[in-house]
Amino acid sequence: QLTQSPSFLSASVGERVTITCRASQGISNKFAWYQQKPGKAPKLLIYDVFQLQSGVPSRFSGSGSATEFTLTISSLQPEDFATYYCQQLHLYPLTFGGGTKVETK
| CA 86 – CA 67 distance, rounded (Å) | 12
Query: Which listed residue (75, 94, 103, 104) binds another protein by CB under 8 A?
Result: 94
36 binds another protein per the rule CB under 8 A:
yes
- Rule CB under 8 A: say whether 84 interacts with another protein: no
Piece in contact with another protein (CB under 8 A), picked from 13-21, 26-34, 58-66, 69-77: 26-34
User: Which of 30-69 are b and which e, b meaning 16 or more Cβ less than 10 Å from the residue's Cβ?
Assistant: ebbbbbeeeeeebeebbbebbeeeeebeeebbbebeeeeb
Contact indicator for 51, 103 with CB cutoff of 8 Å? no
Minimum distance, C-beta of residue 14 to another protein, in the bound complex (Å) = 28
Among positions 35, 64, 87, 102, the unique one binding another protein when judged by CB under 8 A: 87
32 touches another protein (CB under 8 A): yes
Binding stretches for another protein (CB under 8 A): 30, 32, 34, 36, 41-44, 47-48, 53, 85, 87, 89, 92-99
